[in-house]
């Protein structure tokens, strides 16, 4: 068989070999302790205690690892994975470069917790320019960046960072492993929130880290198991079940984003439209060279907070919610969360509704919202 396509990979990722009489995806294993072999103790079985050991979690890790092209460890949330990475790799006196325009809670954590232990934190905009990387221990990239959707050339940055002796991690939340494979582009680590498009049903929180380095994997595993930042068995099972449809979900989300972007590009009452899949977008050249597919997320400006509220209120298919990548189309006015964005800036996450319905609804809601005051 040729190299399997994305749909095939998603459907089969992490599943055990077929056994007659057994389910395709084994159900969640709910266990804190497991029976131990009285003579051999924990060495006598793969599972001893639920914090380090859970077979449902291991199947999910196998699935995500297959899709990212590395070994994976899952965490209780994206933040647990990212903070786990930062605290595993960084020591007092180290320097870390973080995205100035990426997920804001990472910056908040860095200034609250990393600077307090003597880690120097440098911020760089995703689209650059990047500072000198001499003496830097870790560069965390987020591409496309949330919420502004700038992108960075991961291979070029990884080459620069490695020449300076720095590690490179990529937050792959917005792209997902179907959208880009940072480890293939030269990154040492991938971190991501699986809460978003990876699982896509708006019903769980999840994070993960993937790497091809046995040493980094071991260090992160020790951290994860010692801090207990693990997802529960039911969430791990739900996530694995949801992964199977990622190709289909992302396909519709991207088609919807493309159609909505065309609509918004033609409206004089919408400014600042960003979607990396539009040839006019500043991210297009790098995104189309490095990404395997475009995200379902776009951003734009409606002028002021009131107009955003009127727009969402008038829409039948767009609901106000934070997060993104789910089945339902959602709009989030990012300034309300403290992002450094203008009051009318909206991150719109396209769901899997029918494209024509969504475009018609958004057009009607913009008309109903009227102009900004
Ligand atoms: C790019 C990015 N990284 C990480 C996170 C954190 O993920 P979680 O909310 O699962 O902790 C988010 C959440 O919005 C995000 O957008």
pLDDT at 197: 98
Whether residue 111 is predicted with pLDDT greater than 80 in this model: the reply is yes
pLDDT tier for residue 147 given thresholds of 50, 70 and 90? very high
Measured in angstroms, how far is the CA atom of residue 171 from the centroid of ligand 1? 9
Mutate to test the pocket of ligand 1, among 74, 76, 79 (most ligand atoms within 8 A of CB): 79
Which protein residue's CA is at the shortest distance from atom 2 of ligand 1? 103
Q: Which residues line ligand 1 (CB under 6 A)?
A: 77-79, 82, 103, 142, 146, 171, 173-174, 193, 195, 205, 207, 323
Which protein residue's CA is at the shortest distance from atom 9 of ligand 1? 78
Which protein residue's CA is at the shortest distance from atom 16 of ligand 1? 103
pLDDT at 295: 98
pLDDT at 316: 98
Ligand 1 atom closest to Cα of residue 195 = 10
Average pLDDT of the chain to the nearest whole number:
97
Report the pLDDT averaged over residues 197-225: 98
Report the pLDDT averaged over residues 29-44: 96
Mutate to test the pocket of ligand 1, among 99, 190, 193 (most ligand atoms within 8 A of CB): 193
DSSP symbol at 16: P
Ligand 1 atom closest to Cα of residue 80 = 11
pLDDT at 156: 98
Whether residue 207 is predicted with pLDDT greater than 90 in this model: the reply is yes
Which sign, positive or negative, has the C-alpha torsion 203, 329, 245, 205?
negative
Report the pLDDT averaged over residues 48-58: 98
Mutate to test the pocket of ligand 1, among 64, 77, 78 (most ligand atoms within 8 A of CB): 78
86 backbone dihedrals φ, ψ, rounded to 5°: -60, -45
Which protein residue's CA is at the shortest distance from atom 8 of ligand 1? 78
Measured in angstroms, how far is the CA atom of residue 267 from the centroid of ligand 1? 31
pLDDT at 138: 98
Report the pLDDT averaged over residues 136-141: 98
From CA 20, how far away is CA 370, in angstroms rounded? 61
Mutate to test the pocket of ligand 1, among 74, 83, 192, 195 (most ligand atoms within 8 A of CB): 195
Report the pLDDT averaged over residues 127-151: 98
Which protein residue's CA is at the shortest distance from atom 14 of ligand 1? 323
Which protein residue's CA is at the shortest distance from atom 6 of ligand 1? 78
270 backbone dihedrals φ, ψ, rounded to 5°: -125, 130
Pairing type for strands 207-211 and 71-75 reads antiparallel
Helix (H) or strand (E) holding 218: helix 214-227
Which protein residue's CA is at the shortest distance from atom 10 of ligand 1? 78
- How far from chain centre, in Å, is Cα 200? 11
DSSP symbol at 229: -
pLDDT at 14: 98
157-163: list long-range contacts, CB under 8 Å, 24+ apart: 157/130, 158/185, 158/186, 158/187, 158/188, 159/186, 160/130, 160/133, 161/133, 161/136, 162/186, 163/133
Whether residue 117 is predicted with pLDDT greater than 80 in this model: the reply is yes
Cβ within 8 Å of residue 362, ≥6 positions away: 260, 263, 264, 315, 317, 318
How do residues 3-24 score in pLDDT, each as one tens digit? Answer: 899 999 999 999 999 999 999 9
Mutate to test the pocket of ligand 1, among 77, 82, 84, 103 (most ligand atoms within 8 A of CB): 103
pLDDT at 52: 97
pLDDT at 2: 82
Report the pLDDT averaged over residues 178-201: 98
187 backbone dihedrals φ, ψ, rounded to 5°: -70, 150
pLDDT at 373: 85
Measured in angstroms, how far is the CA atom of residue 245 from the centroid of ligand 1? 21
Ligand 1 atom closest to Cα of residue 206 = 10
Whether residue 183 is predicted with pLDDT greater than 80 in this model: the reply is yes
Measured in angstroms, how far is the CA atom of residue 107 from the centroid of ligand 1? 12
Measured in angstroms, how far is the CA atom of residue 323 from the centroid of ligand 1? 8
Answer whether 97's CB lies under 8 Å from 138's CB: yes
Whether residue 1 is predicted with pLDDT greater than 80 in this model: the reply is no
pLDDT at 144: 98
How do residues 257-302 score in pLDDT, each as one tens digit? Answer: 999 999 999 999 999 999 999 999 999 999 999 999 999 999 999 9
């Amino acid at each position: 068989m040729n190299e399997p396509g994305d749909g095939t990979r998603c459907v089969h990722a992490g599943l055990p070999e077929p056994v007659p009489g057994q389910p395709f995806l084994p159900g969640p294993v709910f266990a804190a302790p497991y029976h131990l072999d009285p003579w051999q103790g924990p060495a006598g079985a793969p599972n001893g205690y639920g914090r380090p050991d859970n077979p449902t979690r291991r199947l999910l890790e196998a699935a995500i690892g297959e899709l990212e092209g590395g070994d994976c460890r899952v965490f209780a949330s994206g933040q647990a994975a990212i903070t786990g990475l930062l605290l595993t790799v960084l020591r007092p006196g180290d320097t870390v470069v973080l995205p100035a325009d990426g997920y804001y809670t990472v910056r908040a954590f860095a200034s609250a917790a990393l600077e307090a232990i003597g880690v120097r934190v440098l911020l760089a905009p995703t689209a650059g320019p990047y500072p000198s990387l001499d003496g830097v221990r870790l560069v965390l990239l987020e591409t496309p960046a949330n919420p502004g959707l700038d992108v960075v050339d991961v291979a070029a940055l990884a080459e620069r960072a490695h020449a300076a002796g720095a590690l490179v991690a990529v937050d792959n939340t917005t792209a997902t492993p179907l959208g880009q494979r940072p480890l293939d582009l030269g990154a040492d680590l991938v971190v991501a929130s699986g809460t978003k498009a990876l699982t896509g049903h708006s019903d769980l929180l999840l994070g993960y880290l993937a790497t091809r380095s046995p040493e980094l994997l071991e260090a992160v595993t020790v951290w994860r198991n010692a801090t207990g930042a693990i997802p529960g068995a039911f969430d791990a099972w739900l996530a694995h079940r949801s992964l199977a449809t990622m190709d289909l979900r992302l396909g519709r989300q991207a088609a919807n984003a493309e159609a909505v972007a065309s609509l918004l590009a033609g409206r004089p009452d919408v400014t600042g439209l960003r979607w990396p899949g539009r040839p006019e977008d500043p991210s297009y050249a790098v995104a189309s060279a490095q990404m395997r597919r475009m995200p379902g997320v776009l951003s734009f400006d409606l002028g002021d907070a009131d107009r955003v509220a009127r727009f969402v209120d008038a829409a039948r298919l767009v609901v106000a919610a934070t997060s993104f990548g789910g089945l339902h189309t959602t709009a989030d006015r990012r300034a309300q969360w403290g992002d450094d964005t203008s009051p009318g800036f909206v991150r719109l996450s396209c769901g899997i509704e029918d494209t024509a319905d969504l475009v018609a609804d958004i057009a009607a809601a913009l008309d109903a919202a009227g102009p900004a005051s």
